[in-house]
Amino acid sequence: MTSQTVSLSGNSSELECHFFPPLELPDKSVIGLLSIQTYNSIPNVEAGCDTLHIIHGGLQGATKIKIPTGCYEIITLETKIRGLLKDIGVNFFSLSTDNSTLKCTVHCNSDIDLNVEDSIAPLLGFDKRVLTRGRRHESDRVVKIMNVNTIKVECNLALESKITKPAELLTEISIAHNGLANLFNEMKYEINSTEVQRVKKPGITSAMKGYCSYSPADANVLQNAAWDITNKNANFVKDNTFSGCIPLKHVFDFCEDYKRILINCSQQLILNRSMSDTSALHCTSVVGGDMATASVKALVAKVKVQLTRVLWKVPVIKVDDRERLKLMKTIDSKKMINCAFRNWELCEYPNLPQTSKHSWMVKTCS
């Protein structure tokens, strides 16, 4: 009886070996795995990026700690650093991440000097500086040690607001049709600091799109976004306060057309507030006065909408280890991913054309 052993080693998620000439085995042969030794073969903490320089108070000086080479997630890295710091008398250390900003926060009861050579600062997204004790420090950039979480772009923008108006204005004020989108002059969506789509006058743009394409079911879903043609948002405002939710696919066609997931990337949503809230409000005269008079128009111009809270709700998907390896392989391949989507461009004319017909150029891009 003969036996042959093949040993494979490497630092990728797949290991393979080619033989020439091929191995010839008897008909009654058994192939089995004798042993497997793994050290999380893609380390993110290694020589050149594995040092923390702790500055003690008083006359104790400073201590450098070396973090063992390995592949760490935030929780395991925090646990490892806590154990190393406890050995030198530092009893408090906290390391956490924000799934919205993809940045990390460090909190320690001793100063941490990130200016030293081989510092772990680049991995955690920090510039070279000293983190003072007793304070929470947020990283300057996106942390490079997050879990392989995937973020779906089907997300919502939640708003809470209140309306302020002059006391002498005796009118009932409600939110106009599609008024939440009219609160902004421009919306811009970026991935990894690269602009994907920019929408000017999102209220007008999304209204024109909605009138042409929305079904009754779509209109019902968008009632929380103040899309109410029938009842004109009669019950949307209560005691001069209101809240709503704008699905980003109502504004950005990328969020409507791109049905896949985004892996390990930062997303930015940039909102430019409108200078005037007139387009977002609907006023009805109630007691005395006429909406057409100059005095009432002047009072209406003073009505303001104050945004008290703005939230960007993004679902985060967590995957098991098998799917995580597949995603890591996709990231390592650095393969370009095609993101085809429609794009809207709003063209405004300073003067209303007097003709009943008009032609315009249609642009395409790739």
* 53-67, 102-116, 166-180, 225-239, range with greatest mean pLDDT: 102-116
What pLDDT score was predicted for residue 40?
Answer: 43
What pLDDT score was predicted for residue 154?
Answer: 62
What pLDDT score was predicted for residue 246?
Answer: 92
Side by side, which strands form the sheet with 111-113?
Answer: 62-66, 51-55, 111-113, 130-131
Burial class (CB in 10 A: 0-12, 13-18, 19+), 127: exposed
Q: How confident is the model at residue 107 (pLDDT cuts 50, 70, 90)?
A: very high
Q: How confident is the model at residue 11 (pLDDT cuts 50, 70, 90)?
A: low
CA–CA separation, 344 and 176 (whole Å): 23
Q: How confident is the model at residue 111 (pLDDT cuts 50, 70, 90)?
A: very high
Taking only the tens place, the pLDDT of each residue in 325-344 is 777 777 777 777 777 777 77
To the nearest whole number, what is the mean pLDDT of the chain? Answer: 81
Alpha-carbon separation of residue 91 from 55, 112, 124, 137, 200 (angstroms) = 14, 14, 21, 18, 52
Percent of the chain predicted with pLDDT > 90: 20
Check whether 89 has a pLDDT greater than 60.
Answer: yes
CA–CA separation, 34 and 354 (whole Å): 84
Taking only the tens place, the pLDDT of each residue in 166-223 is 877 777 788 889 999 999 999 999 888 888 899 999 999 999 989 988 988 888 889 8
Check whether 110 has a pLDDT greater than 60.
Answer: yes
CA–CA separation, 91 and 83 (whole Å): 9
Domains, the chain, with CATH or none:
51-142 (no CATH), 150-331 (2.70.9)
Strands 304-313 and 156-164: antiparallel
CA–CA separation, 19 and 108 (whole Å): 54
What pLDDT score was predicted for residue 41?
Answer: 46
What pLDDT score was predicted for residue 150?
Answer: 46
Check whether 49 has a pLDDT greater than 50.
Answer: yes
What pLDDT score was predicted for residue 279?
Answer: 87
What pLDDT score was predicted for residue 145?
Answer: 65
Least confident of 128-137, 156-165, 286-295: 286-295
Check whether 307 has a pLDDT greater than 80.
Answer: yes
Least confident of 103-107, 132-136, 207-211, 217-221: 217-221
Q: Which two tokens stand for residue 206?
A: 């999304």
Report helix, strand or coil for 46.
Answer: coil
Percent of the chain predicted with pLDDT > 70: 87
Q: Average pLDDT, stretch 259-287?
A: 81
What pLDDT score was predicted for residue 137?
Answer: 93
| Residues 201 and 178: beta-carbon distance below 8 Å | no
Check whether 43 has a pLDDT greater than 80.
Answer: no
Check whether 320 has a pLDDT greater than 90.
Answer: no
Please state the φ and ψ torsions of residue 295, each to the nearest 5 degrees. -65, -40
What pLDDT score was predicted for residue 100?
Answer: 67
What pLDDT score was predicted for residue 227?
Answer: 92
